Amino acid sequence: MSLRGQTQMTHAHQTGAILTAPVSTRARIILIAFLTGIYLFNAFELRQWLESEIPTGPDQQCYHKQAQLFEENGIVGGLNTAIEFEEARYLLSKAKALGLTAAPESQWAVVVAPECHQYKYATGSIISQYPPGTGFLLSFFPEGKRVRLLYLVIETILFGWFAYLVAAAPTKGAALLLSALGSFAVIQLNYEGYMSFSLAPSMLLCILLAFGAVKLLVSKDGRERALLSAICGALLGISVSLRTANILLVGGFVLAYADMFLRKRQWNIWPAALAFAVALGIALIPTFAAHAINAGHPLATTYGDDDASHPILTWRQIGAAIDYYFFGEGIGYVFDAGLAITALFEIGRRFFKWNTIPYLAFVNNATWVVAAAFYLTHGVLNSYYLIPTALFSMSLIVFGLCKSALSKPAFAPMTRPIPSAPLAAIACVCSVILIAGWTVALKQAPKPADPLPSLEPNAIVWADQSGGLFSYYLKRHTAMLDRASPAVQRRMIAAVAEDSRPQYLIADSDEMRALIARTSGAVRMNDMFGYEAYRLEPRSVQAR
């Protein structure tokens, strides 16, 4: 045998020895204590998330408003996000009367809609672009504590589950890998999950999906495979109701089943494939229903032209996306870790002959390929778009490596259970820490401005970042006139003034401040929700 071959065998033997070595009770306790410390740190960090409970910014506006709609209208009624305020209908009629609707929607919709809302010709309504899942979850919690409670529940689930997996791990390698994955996931829930409220539940579902996928791939029983496949399909469908782009995670499973049928001729897999498709379809019903209500058809998108554009198959677009995600602002810890672990896994599998689960690498690589094919060919870029893909990939590999160290099905019951006294002590300490974390994290709750601003019944409000505050607390509609062209701004302001309606301009962005500076007759009023407010008297306004 060559020296290279001997070296590879030595490395493989050492890796296998580490993975299969038994784990001591002391090591379990240390790893669980480390995971507990991270959880407690996150709970204390949530004290600083008061701003997240206020409906400002694109995500906060839509998700808090969706939660409010579910509270007020119930589960079915809450799916309808059409803005029914009189001001919305009035602005839409003005836009039509001025002929603005003849132009592409991206050029005029901002004069009738707040941020993250779209006008849909099929329904004639101004609707929220986001799917309903995140707002539905937030609606279970009281106002002022929605976001922090949702994150605490998700972090508690992850903490408890990974603490159990570490306690149940039969080998040192499995305990270390599971502790590392759990710690990383809980940390990133607060750090990168803060960028969008839909990320935290998506991250939880991605980890559960990876666990279910590994169980599915190692199962030899037909009924168990069908059940696990249905569970994976249901998790994927639910995740789409949180983030529409999570549908890309379906690609790895679909391609794997297609390969089994078309190339491997494994006809006995059809019950599992059918169960996956049926469960996925059922879990997608809330999303389809929301699309039908808001966009006019179950398969119609609620997003605008920018987000739902066709792939741009040019080297300029692909190069710009690669630069963004790999070298620029799109770099993130979860994305980096997912790529790094995938690369290490492929090296170990190919060069050191790691004993991996059949189709594990196929599902992982296919998921990355589908995600890359979409995100590299679309112009809308964001640093957190690839987090679900990366976390699913990372979890899939970690759970797969833990399984390859076991002789029994993945995560069998503990072979060396922790003695009762240390286990009781761990349970007591964890309980105290959980109670302390929840108490501290929810100690404060933000409140809207007191007293709330007062507006005339027929007043029109032009606002940018503060639009959610007016909608949520005052039930008043706002539109982002500042994002239209100066010519359109002048026409809309003049048209509203001719109808003897007062107008308020809220200085909540650089663009709004520039619009105010260009508009004559703007009189400084009292602040509204902490922003400078200017009033335009009816029929006395002349925009420059």
| Closest-CA residue to 187 (of 163, 212, 151, 146) | 151
User: Residue 333: is its pLDDT beyond 80?
Assistant: yes
pLDDT at 415: 44
pLDDT tens profile 426-445 = 666 666 656 665 665 566 66
How much is the pLDDT for 406?
38
Calculate the alpha carbon distances from 82 to 51, 130, 153 in Å: 26, 12, 30
> If you average pLDDT over residues 250-257, what whole number do you get?
96
Q: ω before 486 within 30° of 0 (cis)?
A: no
From residue 363, give the alpha-carbon distance in Å to each of 99, 167, 293, 349. 51, 28, 34, 14
Q: Which residues pair with 520 in a beta bridge?
A: 542
Least confident among 4-8, 72-76, 205-209, 510-514: 4-8
Would you tell me how many other CB atoms lie within 10 Å of the CB of residue 438? 17
As a whole number, mean pLDDT of residues 365-370 equals: 96
Average pLDDT over residues 85-94: 95
Position 105 scores a pLDDT of 81
What percent of the chain stands above pLDDT 70?
A: 87
Look at residue 47 in the predicted model and tell me its pLDDT.
79
Of the candidate ranges 108-122, 301-315, 394-408, the one whose mean pLDDT is the lowest: 394-408
Q: What is the mean pLDDT of residues 34-55?
A: 88
User: Strands 503-507, 460-462: parallel, antiparallel or unpaired by DSSP?
Assistant: parallel
Quick check: 281 pLDDT over 90?
A: yes
12-21, 192-201, 423-432, 514-523: which has the minimum mean pLDDT? 12-21
Asked whether residue 420 carries a pLDDT value surpassing 80, the answer given is no
- Give me the mean pLDDT over the 410-414 stretch: 40
d(CA 307, CA 324): 17
**Interatomic CA distance for residues 183 and 328, integer angstroms:** 26
The distance from CA 399 to its chain's CA centroid, rounded to whole angstroms, is 22
Across 34-43, 181-190, 329-338, the highest mean pLDDT is recorded for 181-190
User: Which 3 state secondary structure label does DSSP give 504?
Assistant: strand
Average pLDDT in the chain: 87
Residue 162 in this model has a pLDDT that exceeds 70: yes
CA nearest to 115, candidates 309, 312, 332, 307 = 307
The pLDDT assigned to 478 comes to 96
pTM assigned to the model: 0.90
Q: Which of 132, 175, 173 is nearest to 33 (CA)?
A: 175
Q: Are 66 and 471 in contact (CB under 8 A)?
A: no
Lowest mean pLDDT of 127-141, 354-368, 404-418, 472-486, name the range. Answer: 404-418
